[in-house]
Amino acid sequence: MRNFIDLLERTNPQSAEGMKQKLATVESAKQELQRQVGRDGSLAVAQRCTDPKFVKGMSNALAGLMTPLMFQNAMNEECSDSYNRIQAPMQ
């Protein structure tokens, strides 16, 4: 992801800023999940993560990150396959 942002900074600075913000949001969410696991335990967090509203929001956030990568052909096959496996049950 960092390499893609570096490329965007040179070719499309406005898009690079948007991707940086999206990546920062993902990092923040990751830290929040880790904090909640420490506080509430992994089972409680896993149960909350199955809520349909949460799943839809995370699916949309992931699509927002991955769509620009797809349009720029910046995803390798492994990344693309992983993304498709994550999104398939949600569609």
Q: Which two tokens stand for residue 26?
A: 């993902």
**In this structure, what DSSP letter does residue 49 have?**
T
Please tell me the predicted confidence (pLDDT) of residue 75: 87
Number of domains in the chain: 1
Please tell me the predicted confidence (pLDDT) of residue 41: 97
Residue 79 belongs to what domain range?
2-90
Q: Which two tokens stand for residue 18?
A: 């948007």
Q: What is the pLDDT along the chain (91 residues), one digit of tens a residue?
A: 778 888 888 988 888 888 899 889 889 989 999 999 999 999 999 999 999 999 898 888 889 889 888 888 888 899 999 999 988 876 5
Instruction: Decide: 19 and 8 in contact? Cβ < 8 Å.
Output: yes
Please tell me the predicted confidence (pLDDT) of residue 28: 93
